[in-house]
Structure 1
């Protein structure tokens, strides 16, 4: 086995200048923002749950 297959990009008239195809520009930023939003929403949800359990413990 020679190795991994790697997609490349090049202009048809310049195959000698081929380069490895990279991920879509900005996809790392989108992933980071999505992960950050999910962490924030999870923390808000856990905060509401803790508040609810605290109120329930005080009342009951």
Structure 2
């Protein structure tokens, strides 16, 4: 983030397994994928659809990062 001169407030993390939890906790917004385990879904800020059901796209639209 130093290299990009970015702020933590501008970060999103996407994950689906327990090992991704620290990444989701570190970033401003943590998004669990639909097939993720119960543990990651419980701590995420938002739960989106499965990857094969356009989960990334749907989350990007939800957060206003792209337009539908």
Task: Give TM-score, length-normalised by structure 1.
Answer: 0.21
Q: Which has the higher contact order (CA 8 A, sep 6+)?
A: 2
Specify which structure has the higher proportion of strand.
Answer: 2
Specify which structure has the higher proportion of helix.
Answer: 1
* Structure with bigger gyration radius: 1
Task: Give TM-score, length-normalised by structure 2.
Answer: 0.18
